[in-house]
Amino acid sequence: MYSKRLHPKKGLCLAALLCFNTHAMPAHSLPGQETTVHSTVDTTFTAPNDWAVTAIPFKLYGERQVNHVKINWQPLKGIQYYKVYRNGKFIGETQGNTYDDYDLKTDQTYTYRIDAYREHQKTASSVTQETHTFTYSGETTLYDNRNGRHLRTTPDKPSGFKIGKTYFSYRLHRTHKELNGKEKNGWLLSESESKTGLKDSWSKPREIAFYPSVNFEGIGFHYNKKTRKVVLSAHYEDQGGYTAAKIFLAQITPKGGIEIGTMERPLGHDSRDQSLFVDEDGTAYLLSATHMNSDINIYRLDETWIKPVALANTICKGQHRETPSIIKKDGTYYFFSSKASGWYPSQTMYASADRIDGKWSPLKEIGNNSTYGVQFNYVQQTAGTRKTLGLWGFHWGAQYHHRDPDGTFTRISPATFNHGYASMNYFRFVEFHDQYGIIPVQNGRNLTLGATVVPSHAPGDGSAAPDCITDGSGMASSPYFKSSHYPYSLTIELPQPSRISEINLATRLVNGSETAYKYTIEGSMDGQEYQTLIDGRNSWTVGFHILPVEDRSTYKFLRLNVFQIINVHNNHPATWADGIYEFTAFGFPL
């Protein structure tokens, strides 16, 4: 099975995102209605067997050896610290839920385990996970997650669906067309073909169908190997409205016509955000946000994938989740979704199950509180000898009230899975290799994990201790620092003098009242004389700041100065929404 998917937002004005074709990078879905219902987050485990660790190899920017490992685990409620073991040997201790293991031998397999401690007593040991370090050769594509730009590309590769000896590409886009002497606004479905699938080899698009006075969202194309036809799936609405809430499922015969299987509410249920999942045995399922985006229905489809035949399950009841997506890894199903939050970032959550029609786990957080500044869109596995997975999300900067100069683009977070636990991490860069898939690239070593933090003023009500901003845990349920006085400063002492290459700042999100921080970041060697490294006093960034540092000097202290916190919707002060989750500096100790 091969699929391509696009989720345009309602009212999206960018021409590039008003259509879909099988060359395009998938995008995101329609924002749901704002809600006061809060997600139920599972942060506890009843038995050690439920608790697993993940380990993913990564490289540092400028290196060819992939010989460092990032370890993650689900934080346990009430735990004071965790001990990290490699191949059964203790290597470190931390309070958060992440740890970097550096400078390993290449082409070696390493096994990781975490032990959890409360009051100096071990209370749980994780399920282990193996990972393998490696070196690689050959060309890679290099992608910058800060702004969505390709810094290096590889020669053109085939795209589209290869059916027999021919490649096919499909596009459904909004356009105008003259019908019976009148110009109509609608959606045009077209097909192109190529013998090679390469960029400049495609034929002129052939019109398959035109649909006037309607609206499509969440458009996807999927190849059904059994029928040898391409299935088109979309959320269908009448033009100008948002109450039809129907599903559109149809199959296209290459070089032929289209057969509509469903253009109605699936089995009578309203349907908005949707996607298709095809299991290993070829059974297809429709995932659909229903009951005004309150629940997720999972429908089993017929062999053609264009007609729902049974309601297999209803999950995430009352949770108001968007962009539903499922992937299967090592026999376990993982469901991912974003929160209804308009154009702004939200916490991605997931659930897992042994059977699609069985009992699913409670929703759990993954990544950080803002999904590193994006809304989750979909999860995908790469081809090649080494199967890797990533979560793609959209940073909708072009649609912000204060427009992001970098506009709208995707961020890609490498993901790892183990016994029902899933983790994802921010890396400044990702490389794509034909054999090794996604290669995470970190912009230096993590210099601040576990570092001492001194605030200028006492913590405010509801605040955690200041060192929570360097514990490595930044999910929505994680502790954050909130000051009792404004403006304020937080000073971080690095373990040793270092050259800083990048700083990340993760701040609290309040749905519907998202904020921007006005700040500076300074560096010092003696803790007395400071040099400005980052001037963010005019920043309108929401949730997650990726801050390259150009200064090549050496520093022992970093200081975050927060001057104002502003509601980005009305420009009013919003110190009540203050919350620093994480301050992370990357670079190279000297």
Return the minimum-mean-pLDDT range out of 44-53, 165-174, 205-214, 226-235: 44-53
Q: Residue 536: name the closest of 527, 525, 549 by CA.
A: 549
H-helix or E-strand spanning residue 334: strand 332-339
* Residues 406 and 397: beta-carbon distance below 8 Å: yes
Q: Residue 436: name the closest of 387, 379, 381 by CA.
A: 387
The alpha carbon of 211 is separated from its chain's Cα centroid by a whole number of angstroms, namely: 33
Q: Which pLDDT score is estimated for 21?
A: 42
45 pLDDT higher than 50: no
Rounded mean pLDDT, 124-135: 97
Return the minimum-mean-pLDDT range out of 30-34, 198-202, 480-484: 30-34
Question: What does R_g of the chain's alpha carbons equal in angstroms?
Answer: 24
Q: pLDDT of 523-553, one tens digit each?
A: 999 999 999 999 999 999 999 999 999 999 9
Query: What count of Cα atoms within 13 Å lies in the side-chain half-sphere of residue 296?
Result: 29
Q: What predicted TM-score, i.e. pTM, was given to this entire model?
A: 0.91
Q: Which pLDDT score is estimated for 76?
A: 93
The Cα-based distances of 114 to 71, 351, 361, 434 in angstroms read: 9, 22, 22, 32
pLDDT mean across residues, the chain: 92
Percent with pLDDT over 70 in the chain: 92
* Residues 253 and 38: beta-carbon distance below 8 Å: no
Rounded mean pLDDT, 179-200: 94
N-to-C CA span, the chain: 50
Q: Which pLDDT score is estimated for 181?
A: 87
Q: pLDDT of 240-254, one tens digit each?
A: 889 999 999 999 999
CB atoms within 10 A of CB 469: 28
List where CATH 2.60.40.10 sits in the chain.
48-135
The Cα-based distances of 395 to 15, 86, 373, 410, 515 in angstroms read: 17, 36, 6, 6, 16
Name the DSSP class of 566.
Answer: E
Q: Which pLDDT score is estimated for 158?
A: 94
Strand residue runs (E) in 63-145: 65-66, 68-73, 81-86, 89-94, 98-101, 109-118, 121-125, 129-132, 134-135, 141-144
Q: Which pLDDT score is estimated for 25?
A: 31
Task: Spell out the CATH class of 2-40+138-442.
Answer: mainly beta
Sign of CA dihedral 210, 213, 219, 220: negative
CATH number belonging to the domain at 48-135, selected among 2.60.40.10, 3.40.50.450, 3.30.565.60, 3.40.50.300: 2.60.40.10
List where CATH 2.115.10.20 sits in the chain.
2-40+138-442
Q: Residue 517: name the closest of 494, 488, 496 by CA.
A: 488
Contacts of 227 (CB under 8 A, 6+ apart): 251, 303, 304, 305
Burial state string for 195-219 with b = 16 or more CB within 10 A and e = fewer than 16: eebeeeebeebeebbebeebbbbbb
Rounded mean pLDDT, 121-133: 97
446-589: CATH homologous superfamily? Answer: Galactose-binding domain-like (2.60.120.260)
Q: Which pLDDT score is estimated for 180?
A: 87
Q: pLDDT of 68-103, one tens digit each?
A: 999 999 999 999 999 999 999 999 999 999 999 999
7 pLDDT higher than 50: no
List where CATH 2.60.120.260 sits in the chain.
446-589
Residue 332, classed as helix, strand or coil, is strand
Q: Residue 88: name the closest of 114, 62, 107 by CA.
A: 114
118 pLDDT higher than 80: yes
Q: Can you spell out the DSSP letters for 426-487?
A: --SEEEEETTTEEEEEESSEE--TT-EEEESS-B-TT---GGGGGSS--STTS--B-BSSSS
Query: What count of Cα atoms within 13 Å lies in the side-chain half-sphere of residue 125?
Result: 6
Q: Which pLDDT score is estimated for 140?
A: 95
CA–CA separation, 457 vs 466, rounded Å? Answer: 10
CA–CA separation, 81 vs 449, rounded Å? Answer: 13
Q: Which pLDDT score is estimated for 209?
A: 98
Rounded mean pLDDT, 585-589: 98
29 pLDDT higher than 60: no
Return the minimum-mean-pLDDT range out of 39-43, 254-258, 492-496, 548-552: 39-43
Model confidence at 49, pLDDT cuts 50, 70, 90, reads low
Rounded mean pLDDT, 584-588: 98
* Residues 429 and 143: beta-carbon distance below 8 Å: yes
